Structure 1
Amino acid sequence: MTFYTYQYLKGGQTNWTMIRIIVVVVLALAFLFFLFMYSRHRWNHKYKDLSIILATLLLLAAAIQYSDYTNLRTASLQSGQLTTVIDKSAAKLKVNPEQISINDTSRNNDMIIKTPKGYYTLVFNSSGSEFLLQRADLYHPDITVIGE
């Protein structure tokens, strides 16, 4: 079973955002350069071909970047909800939120949290606004904690 720490959830799960943005910018600059070279040397078709290839790559990279952005935004909202749940759980259990780990990165019913006081199951009400902490005993847990 994999648990995720409070720091991992607050820090986000991706480090590649800046690298992807740099790739899109480099592709855009290369496209503009080859487009400029084609406009100066119309008789040389290699610049036209390179411009078309780079325009295709640029559109593909921009589409991937947009898709990743929407996924990151969704994950960020879910992580925000989970950190709120961890904060409320820590207050109820009177422990530091940094000592709590949770077994999922998206909120659902019957999640398990790992605390210094033991394992607890989170059971949410139908609207998801409140939850119940119920002590849980795990038999032979194979635990991996990500974010320590």
Structure 2
Amino acid sequence: MTFYSYSYLKGGQTNWGIIKIAVISLLALAFLVFIIKYSRNKWDLKYKDLSIILGTLLLLAVAIQYSDFTNLRTASVQSGQLTVVIEKSAKKLDIKPESIAINDTSRNNDMLIKTPKGYYSLVFNGSGSEFLLSKVDLYEPDVTVVGE
């Protein structure tokens, strides 16, 4: 069973966004260079073809970046909700939030948390504003914690 640490959920951001933006910038710059070369040399069709190819790649890269951005925004909201749940659980159990790990990255009704005091089950009410925290015993747990 995989658990995710509080610091993993809190950090959650990666550097891939910077790399993607750099690639998009390079594509846009190359696209502009070939458009300028084509406008100066109207009879040289290789620049027109290269401009079309780079323009298509640029549109594809921007579409992928937009999709990743919306997915990242959704994941960030869900991680924020989980960090609040971890902080409330830590307060109820009188431990530090950094010592808690949770078994899912999106909130659902059958979640487990791993603490130094043992494993606990989280059951949310209908609106998701409150939860029940009850101690559970796992039979032969095979646990890995991501983010430690």
State the TM-score, normalizing by the size of structure 1. Answer: 0.98
Q: Determine the structure 1 residue equivalent to 2:140.
A: 140
Q: Determine the structure 2 residue equivalent to 1:100.
A: 100
Q: Determine the structure 2 residue equivalent to 1:109.
A: 109
Query: How far does the alpha carbon of each residue in 1:20-69 deviate from its partner, in whole angstroms, 9 at most, with x for none?
Result: 01111110000000000000111110000000000000000000000000
Q: Residue 91 of structure 1 aligns to which amino acid in structure 2?
A: K
Q: Determine the structure 2 residue equivalent to 1:121.
A: 121
Q: Determine the structure 2 residue equivalent to 1:75.
A: 75
**Gaps spanning 5+ residues in structure 2: where?**
none
Moved more, 23-32 or 12-21: 12-21
Indicate the SS of the match to 1:10.
helix
The Cα shift of 1:13 comes to 4.7
Q: Determine the structure 2 residue equivalent to 1:130.
A: 130
State the TM-score, normalizing by the size of structure 2. Answer: 0.98
Distance 1:89 1:15 in 2: 30
Distance 1:21 1:136 in 2: 45
Percent identity between the two aligned chains: 74
Distance 1:98 1:57 in 2: 43
Q: Determine the structure 2 residue equivalent to 1:56.
A: 56
Q: Determine the structure 2 residue equivalent to 1:32.
A: 32
Q: Residue 33 of structure 1 aligns to which amino acid in structure 2?
A: V
Distance 2:113 2:21 in 1: 35
Q: Determine the structure 1 residue equivalent to 2:17.
A: 17
Is 1:88 equivalent to 2:85 in the alignment?
A: no
Query: How far does the alpha carbon of each residue in 1:49-100 deviate from its partner, in whole angstroms, 9 at most, with x for none?
Result: 0000000000000000000000000000000000000000000000000000
Instruction: Please list every run of at least 4 consecutive aligned residues from structure 1 whose deviation after the TM superposition is greater than 4 angstroms.
Output: none
Indicate the SS of the match to 2:119.
strand
Query: How far does the alpha carbon of each residue in 1:74-128 deviate from its partner, in whole angstroms, 9 at most, with x for none?
Result: 0000000000000000000000000000000000001000000000000000000
**Cα RMSD, aligned residues only:** 0.7
